[in-house]
Structure 1
Amino acid sequence: MGRRSREIRGDVNSSCQHLAKAIARDGEGATCLIEVEVTGAHDELSARQIAKTIAGSSLVKSAIFGRDPNWGRIAAAAGRAGVPFEQENLQIKLGDFLMLENGQPLQFDRAAASAYLKKATAGAYLQQDTVLISVNVGNGHGVGKAWGCDLSYDYVKINAEYTT
């Protein structure tokens, strides 16, 4: 593949990622974008499956909307993704806040972590309005990302009013 082909491929990938983020961010009533990055999985497919399960979890989405740095909901979603990993390898970060290491909860500044979540709702569209959840599940080479939005009162109200 030539240099120009790689540049075009990179531009297309970048554009597609921007569109994927915009679609997730524009959920009815959403207040922020959630980006989940999973590392250490056996392969890319496994990492993406874990990331999609976390990003799609109603309990994770609700915790983010409630500005609750709830590592338990993230860990539970990772565990039900259908991808085997050893619990003692699990690491979870919310932004810069390391909340779980080697499968064990850590002390962290809950008020500051909650403030990090609050700050995302006031951030510029698709720039500072992103809540980053980083999850490591082991020593594999698989990396995956998924995007979603929080689950706000408005999201529920708007979607509850649909009729078929």
Structure 2
Amino acid sequence: KTIAGSSLVKSAIFGRDPNWGRIAGAAGRAGVKFEQEQLQIKLGDFLMMENGQPLDFDRAAASEYLKQRAAGEYLKDDTVLISVKVGDGVGSGKAWGCDLSYDYVKINAEYTT
């Protein structure tokens, strides 16, 4: 829920930026205890982080994944899948989010980690 509700994650998605740093930051704020070494982050089929370490991935293709799910200036009904694994437990959760106003997104979508 923290990741889906993060203004910075929403801005990255709107800006078609596969920004693992914003996702990892939101995961760290979620209130779930985990070891960084266990963190895995995927955007669609793109594995961006494994064992707490950023990976080389095709940023252009990941950005294209985000573009394919957008229509005009706003995301349409298509889903952008962000998967975060924080350990080997059995717990899981799902959350849905929405975009932000264009001006807020414009300011925050113009930079990356």
TM-score (norm 2): 0.84
**Pair 1:120 & 2:66 matched:** no
Aligned to 1:146: 95
Gaps of 5+ in 1: 1-51, 157-164
- Structure 2 residue aligned with 1:84, among 3, 21, 33? 33
Distance (Å, rounded) in 1 between the aligned partners of 2:64 and 2:3:
21
Gaps of 5+ in 2: 106-113
SS at match of 1:62: helix
One-letter amino acid matched to 1:141: V
Aligned to 1:137: 86
Instruction: Note if contact 1:94-1:113 (Cα within 8 Å) is conserved in structure 2.
Output: yes
TM-score (norm 1): 0.59
One-letter amino acid matched to 1:72: G
Q: How many residues align?
A: 101
Aligned to 2:52: 103
- Larger CA Rg, structure 1 vs 2: 1
Q: Which runs of 4+ in 1 moved over 3 A?
A: none
Aligned to 1:67: 16
Cα deviations by residue, 1:49-86 (Å, 9 ceiling, x for unpaired): xxx00000000000000000000000000001111101
SS at match of 1:100: strand
User: Identity of counterpart residues, as a percentage?
Assistant: 85
Q: What is the CA-CA distance between 1:151 and the residue it aligns to?
A: 2.5
Distance (Å, rounded) in 1 between the aligned partners of 2:6 and 2:87:
22
Q: What is the CA-CA distance between 1:149 and the residue it aligns to?
A: 1.5
Distance (Å, rounded) in 1 between the aligned partners of 2:97 and 2:20:
17
Cα deviations by residue, 1:104-156 (Å, 9 ceiling, x for unpaired): 0000000000000011013xx53xx1100000000000010000013240787
Instruction: Note if contact 1:65-1:152 (Cα within 8 Å) is conserved in structure 2.
Output: no
What is the root-mean-square deviation in Å for CA atoms of aligned residues? Answer: 1.5
Structure number with the higher strand fraction is 1
